[in-house]
Structures are given as structure tokens and as C-alpha cells.
Amino acid sequence: MDHYLIWFNLKSGCSAYEFLNDMNQYLDHLKEDLPMEGYQLWRRKLGFGPEEIGEFQLDIQFKGMKELDKVFHKVIEGIHEDNETEALHRRVYSKVTNFKTGLYRDFPDESGSLIQ
């Protein structure tokens, strides 16, 4: 399983529950016709954790890189067009700051490979 991780903070004055609603709508929209396994959102508790990675962490799971690539293409196409994907993306992205990403995989993964 591949995990696309996103760390971020919410912009000042942005409601966490409003963000959550917008994020769920956006990711559920992508998941309707794309090979996304699921997603989870975490929020730092009691301020415990490194400030430089943000208060929130989003984990979007994919079976592999091919599935992740399909989602990226859908998002990129949406950004270059005025459609529902772009509108939902804009609502989510406009609420975040200090955006950082990473790509992780289960270890060891199903192939047993130590290098990937």
C-alpha cells in the first residue's frame, strides 16, 4: 500500500469542521471513479508534535503508484479546466497553509522488496 501524506495547518479564521466537510466532499468525489483505497485525517493532540509539519496530517491510501498517478492526472486536468473537481479542490486548498507532502509505503511491502 502506498500512502500519500500531507501535513498542513489551517489558515487563520478557518473552521476545522468546515475544512473537514470540504475535504470529505473533494476526496469522496475523487474516489467515485478513481482507484483510491481510502483516506484518514489526523489532528495533533495537545500541541504534541513537531510544529514544522503542521497541526493536521492527511493520509490518502493507494494500492500502488499507478493508482496514485491516475488521481494526480485527474486533479491536474481539473485545475486546468473549470469543472467540479477544480471547484472542490479550490475550496480545500484555499483553507490550508504550510502544505508539505510525502510518499510512504508499507514496509516490508507485499513484494518483499527492500528497495522501491
CA distance 89 to 40: 17
Residue boundaries of the structural domains of the chain: 2-105
Among the ranges 56-60, 78-82, 111-115, which has the highest mean pLDDT value? Answer: 56-60
The 10s digit of each residue's pLDDT in 21-43 is 999 999 999 888 778 899 999 99
Prior bond of 108 cis (ω within 30°):
yes
Q: What percentage of the chain reaches a pLDDT higher than 70?
A: 90
The pLDDT of residue 111 is: 64
The pLDDT of residue 84 is: 85
45 burial level (CB within 10 Å; 0-12, 13-18, 19+): exposed
Flag whether pLDDT at 105 surpasses 70: yes
> For the whole model, what pTM was predicted?
0.84
The pLDDT of residue 11 is: 98
| In this structure, CATH architecture of domain 2-105 | 2-Layer Sandwich (3.30)
Contacts of 83 (CB under 8 A, 6+ apart): none
